[in-house]
Amino acid sequence: MSRRYLGDEKYATETIGTADDHSPADGDTVLDFFQAQRKARDVAAKAKAPATSHGPLTVSAAMDAYFERLEHEGSKSIADARGRARLHILPKLGDIAVADLTRDMLAKWLMGLAGKSESEDAKLPAGVCLIIIGTEGFGLGSIASDPAHG
């Protein structure tokens, strides 16, 4: 059972699975303690992730919001950051909902970048990486910082 505070002394509850007290855990409907913890964190992250008018917030939409902020701040490196995102981030991660990102997905993506030489323009600006690897505003804080998750 997952329970989440909605405000005004109201809660939302959701059944996430059955305890493995009487049946072996299958990772789907019957969960051991760690599977239940992981599933509860996933439910919480998805509930915290903001949705757009077209559904869940995707990496692409998050990048667009990030670039809008850079423009508003008068950033001089926005063209470079957009180009690097178009080349390295969006092809692999752009269509993925931010709430669905996992540490393993990000590690695989980063390892793919590490395999590129500097001449292939694999270096990303730090600000662009931050939008991908863990801002709590997009519900990734628990994924990025929790060693038990994933």
Q: Please tell me the least confidently modeled range out of 29-33, 46-50, 60-64, 91-95.
A: 46-50
Residue among 106, 103, 104, 111 nearest 93 (CA): 106
Q: Identify the pLDDT of residue 51.
A: 54
How sure is the predictor about 49, in pLDDT bands with cuts at 50, 70 and 90? low
* CA distances from residue 97 to 24, 46, 63, 102, 116 in whole angstroms, order as listed: 31, 9, 12, 11, 25
pTM of model > 0.85: no
- What mean pLDDT value characterizes the chain? 74
Domains detected in the chain = 2-48 (no CATH), 51-145 (1.10.150)
pLDDT tens, residue by residue, 66-75: 888 888 888 8
Q: Residue 132 and residue 90: Cα distance in Å, rounded?
A: 11
